[in-house]
Amino acid sequence: MASDGGGLGNWPEIERRARLIDQSITMQAALRDRDSRIATLLTSCVAIVSIVGIAFAFATNDDVVTIAGLDAQRATWLGWLAVVAGALSTIDLIIDRRGAARRRGEAVALLSALKAEYRAAAQGLGEPEAARLEGRYIDIVTRIPEIPERLFNRLKAKHLLKVEVSKELSAHPGISSLRARIRVALRATKG
């Protein structure tokens, strides 16, 4: 999101940017959660492979071990398990999903604070405040991680669904989130 030159002195521009900020929060949060799940999965796989390797190291003295119908020497299995654990650890270090999740989490925090500033701006602001807010907007959106182009439409659809479900929940207090999602989906298929 870069500045389009439209000043913040007018209310429509403030509303537009507030919507963009809200959408960016949803997108960054979704990518943060995805990156965190991938990091946890990789770490869990390394741990499981390592534990299985340790179990083999302390297993009985059977020279041949069968796993999934494959027979090999215990030392061979230990070697392959070490290779798999090492490869997964290397992949984890290279792609650094935990770091990516942390950066996206920081983006969510920055954008959330900016969203609060835009809410406060809804009560009216003068030129100096508008210029300061525009500066903050440009500063933050240029510092946060970009949304991958190939994921943008899917993440935008997720955000718009979240907004519609939120409206449905507000209009009908007491209904479940699942029921609100179903109502929104039914409306979408009728239109």
pLDDT for the residue numbered 8 = 53
pLDDT for the residue numbered 4 = 45
Q: Please state the pTM of the whole predicted model.
A: 0.81
pLDDT for the residue numbered 2 = 41
Q: Where are the alpha helices (DSSP H) in the chain?
A: 11-57, 74-95, 97-121, 127-143, 149-171, 177-190
Looking up tokens 């929940």, which residue turns up? Answer: 169
Query: N- to C-terminal Cα distance for the chain?
Result: 30
Gap between the Cα atoms of 23 and 143, Å rounded: 16
* Burial category of 129 from C-beta neighbours within 10 Å (exposed 0-12, middle 13-18, buried 19 and up): middle
In the predicted model, residues of the chain with pLDDT beneath 50 are 1-6
8 Å CB contact between 155 and 31 = yes
- Residues 99-108: tens digit of each pLDDT: 999 999 999 9
pLDDT for the residue numbered 1 = 43
pLDDT for the residue numbered 9 = 56
| Domain assignments of the chain as residue spans, ordered by start | 11-147, 148-191
